[in-house]
Amino acid sequence: MKIGILTFHWGTNYGGVLQAYALQTFLEDKGFEVYIINYKPATYEKSILKCFKTPRFWLWPRLLHEYIKENRISKFRKEYFNLSILYDSIIELKKNPPIYDVYIAGSDQIWNPSFTTGGEGQFTSSYFLDFGSKKVKRIGYAISFGCEVYPKDALNFAEKYIENFNAISVRENSGIKIVESLGYNNPFVMPDPTLLLTSKRYNQLLNNKVSNNSSKYVFSYFLRGEDKVVKKAKSYIKKSYSVHNPDKFFNPHSIEDWIREIKNSCFVITNSFHGMVFSIIYHKPFIVFPANDKYARSNDRFYTLLQELNLEKRIMDKFDTKELCNLIEERVDWELIDEKISHLRSQAFSFLKKSIKE
């Protein structure tokens, strides 16, 4: 049976690429023939020319950095993804749809309202699987919205396509209400695909390369910058540990090095969901610093998973020296955590198997 996955595999983001890899690999290990539907809107294509095209010259260094990072991440896609032909619009998907027995949308924030309403410069139904034969089974797996309340314009648009799906699961508890508000009954909460693979499976990507870091260090990975709470925490941590940043300007890590840095660290501080997930996979104590700005609407992804694992106290939304020290020193019962994750994997396989074969 052939399965096509449609997700944000194309983003210049470690976690986004790894969740696509994980779902493809998990399904392949279960005996399915799996492909990544290579959909990427033309507006998101990076080039050296685009780095300097904007008149806002102060953005040039950041754009150039993203271009270098994309080149390193793209090597991973080329090596590990089973990619279909390239589609750059919903028009192309409808004109020449990929021929598979099953389409899976997800995971990641594919139904984020910002993409739904403007992913191709206008409303787009790509991630609602609005293409291909009606006979193809359509499944939503661990879909995320990046918000807890879906805007009305996105809601009115999305509800037209929800009946396309044979089964839907979401990544966060808040996603249940959103899916139900779209008119779909009985959605499930399922784990992010990256949790479907074990550390041993990810180690196969690392080629047994030994880290050059002989001293203990804290792995620091922050998206969208660092707020006052993070800066205070990092300043305190630096008194006892060296701190490694995987996204150095003009020298970003590859996917493999990003994983390796987490694996070899003694502690992780992050505001990244997948930074947190890989800390859990590799049994690294961690602290999550949730967003307190406009991105706070996506914090439910942290709470949903950490509450399931009974680790929600590892979220720090205000600086407290005593709490920080306790979290650094506290022992985590990783054996118990692994048991809980194993149960989540079993639930995920049951959901996917039933959805694909029924």
Confidence of residue 210 (pLDDT cuts 50, 70, 90): low
Residues 237-261 as b/e (b if ≥16 CB within 10 A, e otherwise) read beeebeebebeeeeebbbbbbbbbb
Partners of 102 in the β-ladder: 3, 137
Q: What is the CATH number of domain 201-338?
A: 3.40.50
Phi and psi torsions of 294, nearest 5°: -65, -20
Q: Are 125 and 94 in contact (CB under 8 A)?
A: no
pTM above 0.85, yes or no: yes
CATH top class, domain 2-197+341-357? alpha beta
Average pLDDT over residues 92-116: 96
Do the two domains 2-197+341-357 and 201-338 of this chain adopt the same fold? yes
Q: Of 293, 171, 149, give the one whose Cα is nearest residue 223.
A: 293
The full set of domain ranges for the chain reads 2-197+341-357, 201-338
Q: Which residue has the higher pLDDT, 299 or 295?
A: 299
Q: In this structure, is the dihedral angle defined by the CA atoms of residues 36, 38, 43 and 49, taken in order, positive or negative?
A: positive
> What pLDDT score does 208 carry?
61
Mean pLDDT of the chain: 91
Residues 142-179 as b/e (b if ≥16 CB within 10 A, e otherwise) read bbbbbbbebeeebbebbeebeebbebbbbbbbbbbebb
Q: Of 276, 176, 165, 169, give the one whose Cα is nearest residue 220.
A: 276
Q: For 121-170, how does the pLDDT look when each residue is reduced to its tens digit (9 = 90+)?
A: 999 999 999 999 999 999 999 999 999 999 999 999 999 999 999 999 99
Q: Of 203, 276, 190, give the one whose Cα is nearest residue 15.
A: 276
> What pLDDT score does 53 carry?
66
Confidence of residue 213 (pLDDT cuts 50, 70, 90): low
